[in-house]
Amino acid sequence: MAQVYDPRRLVGIRAERVTDVSSRDFPGHYPGEDHSWNLEKFRENLTVKIRRVSDRSIDFDLVGVDASIANAFRRIIIAEVPTICIENVYVYNNTSVVADEILAQRIGLIPLNVDPKTMDMRVDDESTDRNTIVFTLKLECTRKKDAPKDSTVPSELYNDHELLSGHLEWQPAGEQAEVFSKNPPAPTNPNIVLAKLRPGQGVEITLHAVKGVGKDHAKFSPVATASYRLLPHIVIKKPIPPHLAEKFQKCFSPGVIHIDPRTKVVTVDEENKRKDTVSREVLRHPEFEGYVELSRVRDYFLFNIESESAYPPQRLFQEAIAVMRGKLANIRRAAEALLDQPADGDVVMADP
Partner 1 sequence: MAELPPKVTIMKGASPDLSAATYQIHDESHTIGNALRWMLMKNPKVEFCGYSAPHPSENVIQVRIQMYDNLSSLSALITALADLDALCATIDEAYVKDMREGDYERWIERS
Does 52 contact partner 1 by CB under 8 A?
yes
Nearest to 297 by CA among 76, 72, 70, 75: 70
Cα 308 to Cα 93: distance, rounded to the nearest angstrom: 30
The answer to the question of residue 218 lying near partner 1 (CB under 8 A) is: no
The reply on whether position 6 binds partner 1 by CB under 8 A is: no
Binding mask 320-349 for partner 1 (x = CB under 8 A): -xx-xx-xxxxxxxxxxxxx---xxxxxxx
Q: Binder to partner 1 among 12, 20, 35, 130 (CB under 8 A)?
A: 35
Nearer to partner 1, 13 or 231 (CB): 231
> In angstroms, what CA-CA distances link 290 with 1, 6, 9, 30, 218?
21, 20, 21, 29, 47
In angstroms, how far is the first alpha carbon of the chain from the final one?
59
- Based on the shown chain and the rule CB under 8 A, indicate whether residue 277 belongs to the binding site for partner 1: no
How does strand 57-63 pair with strand 292-307?
antiparallel
* Closest distance to partner 1 from the beta carbon of 103 (Å): 23
Closest CA to 115 of 226, 193, 225, 209: 209
Binding of partner 1 at residue 55 (CB under 8 A)?
yes
Binding segment (CB under 8 A) for partner 1, from list 59-67, 95-103, 164-172, 276-284: 59-67
Show contacts with partner 1 in window 106-145 (CB under 8 A). 123-124
**Residue 134, phi then psi, degrees to nearest 5:** -105, 135
Contact between 31 and partner 1 per CB under 8 A: no
Asked whether position 57 contacts partner 1 by CB under 8 A, the answer is yes
Which CB, 65 or 278, lies closer to partner 1?
A: 65
CA gap 254, 239 in Å, rounded: 20
Using CB atoms within 10 A of its CB, is residue 277 exposed (0-12), middle (13-18) or buried (19+)?
exposed
Quick one: 17 or 43, whose CB is closer to partner 1? Answer: 43
- One residue of 2, 3, 19, 26 binding partner 1 per CB under 8 A: 26
| DSSP letter string, 121-142 | PP-TT---TTT-EEEEEEEE-E
- Count, residues near partner 1 per rule CB under 8 A: 67
| Interface with partner 1 in residues 289-308 (CB under 8 A) | none
* Position 54 contacts partner 1 (CB under 8 A): yes
Q: In whole angstroms, give the CA distance from residue 115 to residue 133.
A: 12
Pure H helices in 161-312: 176-179, 245-250
Contact flag: residue 314 with partner 1 (CB under 8 A): yes
Residue 136, beta-bridge partner list: 169, 206
Q: Which residues bind partner 1 (CB under 8 A)?
A: 26-28, 34-37, 39, 42-43, 46-57, 60, 62, 65-66, 68-69, 71-72, 75-76, 79-80, 123-124, 189, 314, 317-318, 321-322, 324-325, 327-339, 343-352
